[in-house]
Chain A
Amino acid sequence: MYKIFWVLWPSFLVAGIAEGLFFTVIDPQELYLFGEPVRLSTMATYSIGFLCFWAICAASSFLTWFLLRSAADINKGVGAPVGFEHGDGI
Chain B
Amino acid sequence: MASTTPRQLQEKKPSFVEESLYEVHQKVHPRAVSGIFATWRWSMVWFTQILYYGLCWLPWNGRQAVLFDLAERKFYIFGLIFWPQDVIFLAILLIISAYSLFLVTAVGGRLWCGYACPQTVYTEIFTWIEQKIEGDRNARIKLDAAPMNARKLWLRSAKYACWGLLAFWTGFTFVGYFTPIRTVWDSVWSLSLGPWETFWMLFYGAFTYLFAGHMREQVCKHMCPYARFQGVMFDPDTLTITYDTERGEPRGSRKKGVIPISIAKGDCVDCGICVQVCPTGIDIRAGLQYECIGCAACIDACDQVMVKMDYPKGLIRYSTERAIKQRWGWREIVGHIVRPRIFIYSAILGAICVAFVWGIANKASLRVDVIRDRAILAREVEGGLIENVYRLHVINVSEAPQRYAVSVSGLPGIDMVGERTVEVPAAGAKMLTVQVRVPPESGKKGSNRIFFDVMSVADEGVSVHEKASFLQP
Interface residues of A in 46-65 (CB under 8 A from B): 46-47
Query: Bound complex: CA of A27 vs CA of B85, how far in Å?
Result: 11
Query: Bound complex: CA of A73 vs CA of B14, how far in Å?
Result: 8
Report whether A27 and B73 are in contact in the complex, using a CB–CB cutoff of 8 Å.
yes
Q: Mark contacts of B1-29 with chain A using CB atoms, 8 A cut-off: 1 yes-contact digit, 0 otherwise.
A: 10000001001111100100010000000
Report whether B222 and A43 are in contact in the complex, using a CB–CB cutoff of 8 Å.
no
Interface status of B79 (Cβ within 8 A of chain A) = no
Interface status of B200 (Cβ within 8 A of chain A) = yes
Interface size of B in residues (CB-CB distance below 8 Å): 25
Return chain B residues, CB-CB under 8 Å to A46. Answer: 70, 196
Number of A-B contacts (CB under 8 A): 53
Interface status of B335 (Cβ within 8 A of chain A) = no
Query: Bound complex: CA of A41 vs CA of B196, how far in Å?
Result: 10
For A28, give the chain B residue with the smallest CB separation. B73
Q: Mark contacts of A60-78 with chain B using CB atoms, 8 A cut-off: 1 yes-contact digit, 0 otherwise.
A: 0000000000101100100
Query: Bound complex: CA of A5 vs CA of B196, how far in Å?
Result: 24
Return chain A residues, CB-CB under 8 Å to B343. Answer: none
Q: Mark contacts of A15-27 with chain B using CB atoms, 8 A cut-off: 1 yes-contact digit, 0 otherwise.
A: 0000000001101
Interface status of A44 (Cβ within 8 A of chain B) = yes
Interface size of A in residues (CB-CB distance below 8 Å): 23
Report whether A43 and B12 are in contact in the complex, using a CB–CB cutoff of 8 Å.
no
Determine how close the nearest CB of chain A comes to the CB of B235; give it in whole angstroms.
28
Interface status of B381 (Cβ within 8 A of chain A) = no
Interface residue from B87, B222, B225 paired with A5 (Cβ < 8 Å): B222
Known contacts A47-B196, A47-B200, A88-B1; A42/B13 CB under 8 A: no
For B222, give the chain A residue with the smallest CB separation. A2
Query: Bound complex: CA of A73 vs CA of B12, how far in Å?
Result: 12
Interface residue from A47, A76, A88, A90 paired with B199 (Cβ < 8 Å): A47
Query: Bound complex: CA of A88 vs CA of B195, how far in Å?
Result: 58
Task: Given A27-B73, A44-B196, A76-B14, output 15 extra A-B contacts at Cβ < 8 Å.
Answer: A2-B22, A5-B222, A9-B223, A24-B87, A41-B71, A42-B73, A43-B179, A43-B197, A46-B196, A72-B15, A73-B18, A85-B11, A85-B12, A88-B12, A90-B1
Residues in B lying within 8 Å of A, measured CB to CB: 1, 8, 11-15, 18, 22, 70-71, 73, 84, 87, 90, 179, 194-197, 199-200, 222-223, 225
Would you give 23 A-B contacts (Cβ < 8 Å), ordered by A? A5-B222, A5-B223, A13-B225, A24-B84, A24-B87, A27-B73, A27-B84, A41-B71, A43-B70, A43-B179, A43-B194, A43-B197, A47-B196, A70-B18, A73-B14, A76-B14, A76-B15, A85-B11, A85-B12, A85-B14, A87-B11, A88-B8, A90-B1
